[in-house]
Structure 1
Amino acid sequence: MDVALVYDLAGSRLRGIGDVPISYDRLGSRPRALGSWPLEYDTLGARLRAVGATEITYSRWANLPRTVGQWSCVHTKLGSRLESIGPHELRYDQLGSRVRAVGPLEISYDRLGTRPSRVRAPGEGTSLPDDLLLLLFIVLYWQEKEES
């Protein structure tokens, strides 16, 4: 399976994962929905708290994700990098700065290596299963937040 990541004309905002659209608030600064799933943020609007019915919890002091729905998040010992979400391991490039895979999903970047452009997964079709779509979106969202 090969899924394109779609960006706006300026190339700055992720507008879709395959055929699943991502909508933004009026200012266009933060995502409001992934397909039919609304996105919820904390009261200050700084952290993503839920995607549809899937809640996300964070550690109290370090602001690291602890859970995504029923799945626990595992970080490196120093907490500097997310290693897995539930059964899905995250793999990074050699510098450790860009996520290259989320479980069975392999992420390709554009020629400059600045933004994810395609996702490959075993199997046929052009749409991801809901659990992998959710994880991919969350990981890409967190990665973008880290870079900004």
Structure 2
Amino acid sequence: MDIELSYDRAGRLCAIGGTEISYKRRDKRPRTLGSWSIEYQRFSSLLSAVGGVEITYRRWSSLPRTVGQWSCEHSRSGAQLLRIGPHDLRYDPHGGNVCGVGPLEIFYGEHGSSPIRSQLPGRGDSLSDELLLMLFLTLFWQEQTREAREAYYQARR
């Protein structure tokens, strides 16, 4: 099954397959994923919940510790998220982009810019809620990391 990843004019991810992602006007932070509301920690851009699934972080860090009942595993350096519960994350060895979450594969546009589609082996009509959440979180956290890296390099110029 192919899952198209759509973007709005501002370059924000606005749909995963048939599931819309909404934003407040001029806000980079998503507010809903389909019918699920997205909540953030107070005075922060860290997700605290998507729908009824709570997200916790390591103390004084933006590294996710749990997603609902699942624990998260990171590389020793903390630079890469390796697993969310039963779902392994796979990375492109050249660009460092996430190229897979569990059974999902993620494909990027030219020059590895933005993810443009995902693929789930086999045939199906829709993405399960669990895999939709894992794909959204992975893409969201990857974008946050990219933005933080860009801000760091801009500040050093």
Q: TM-score, normalised by structure 2?
A: 0.89
- Segments of 5+ residues of structure 1 without an aligned counterpart are none
Q: Is the 8 A contact 1:18 1:126 kept in 2?
A: no
Which whole-Å CA distance do the structure 2 matches of 1:74 and 1:19 have between them? 30
Which whole-Å CA distance do the structure 2 matches of 1:9 and 1:63 have between them? 28
Moved more, 133-142 or 92-101: 92-101
> Matches of residues 1-80 of structure 1 in structure 2 within 5 Å?
1-10=1-10, 12-80=11-79
Q: Which runs of 4+ in 1 moved over 3 A?
A: none
> What count of residue pairs does the alignment treat as equivalent?
147
- Aligned-pair distance for 1:112? 2.5
Amino acid at match of 1:83: L
Over the matched positions of the two proteins, sequence identity in percent amounts to 55
The Cα RMSD (Å) is 1.2
Q: Paired residue for 1:103?
A: 102
Which whole-Å CA distance do the structure 2 matches of 1:62 and 1:40 have between them? 18
Please state which structure has a larger fraction of its residues in helix: 2
Q: Secondary structure at the match of 1:145?
A: helix
Amino acid at match of 2:146: E
Q: Is the 8 A contact 2:38 2:49 kept in 1?
A: yes
- Aligned-pair distance for 1:123? 2.2
Query: Quick one: higher RCO (CA 8 Å, sep 6+), 1 or 2?
Result: 1
